[in-house]
Amino acid sequence: MKKKVSIFAFVTLLVFIIIALNFDIPSFEAFDMKIRSLLFGNNFIILFHYLGEIKFVIVATVIILLYLAIFKKDFRGVLFVLLTVGVGNGLNQLLKRIFSRPRPEIEDQLTSFSFPSGHAQISVMFFLTLAYLISKLLKNKSWKFITYSVMLVLIFFIGLSRIAEGRHYATDVIAGWSIGYTWFVLCVLWYESKKNK
């Protein structure tokens, strides 16, 4: 399982690199416009963006950190969460500055850069971290599957919400999901290697 996860993380890294180097070519731009035409203004999907807001993620992350530190005494786990979510957020800000892609042109648009989508990347890192920690407490494989499935649905709709709002292109979101997953897996591999020593 670990090998398959690592291979998929490498694939998602390649996806990120391909999009990063080509998001301004005509075929990618046409793809972005097509997806936007399908999703823009969908009020149901837009509701999911709140779960990717940095304020929500910070509060939820602090609760997780307190639980790990006070109740579980898992200080490696604390560092794992800080690396995955905290440093991962810093990585997103760095990537935005490196690629400096303008956001889609709409009224009252945000002034920060567009690529990769912060909501998409952070939702992957946060909700997969949450699923990973919860699954460690569960013995039943069915409940583990349900936990990951719920988190993946949330991640999917949070990403789509940014397209529906007009805040991001589809390629921003796919790139955010991709690099977010790669970073999450790297942090898990680090955490488990330390744990097993």
Question: Could you tell me the residue ranges of all domains in the chain?
Answer: 2-195
Whole-number pLDDT of residue 197: 53
Calculate the alpha carbon distances from 149 to 5, 88, 91, 145 in Å.
16, 22, 26, 6
Whole-number pLDDT of residue 195: 60
pLDDT in tens, 108-145: 888 889 999 999 999 999 999 999 999 999 989 999 99
Residue pair 167/104 in contact (Cβ under 8 Å)? The answer is yes
Indicate the average pLDDT of the chain. 94
**Per-residue pLDDT averaged across 93-119, rounded?**
91
pLDDT confidence bin for 185, thresholds 50/70/90: very high
Please give the model's pTM, rounded to 2 decimal places: 0.93
Whole-number pLDDT of residue 176: 98
DSSP 111: S
Given a cut of 90, whether residue 2 has pLDDT beyond it is: no
- Cα angle at 83 between 112 and 187, to 5 degrees? 115
pLDDT in tens, 9-31: 999 999 999 999 999 999 999 99
More confident call, 21 vs 196: 21
pLDDT in tens, 135-171: 999 989 999 999 999 999 999 999 999 999 999 999 9
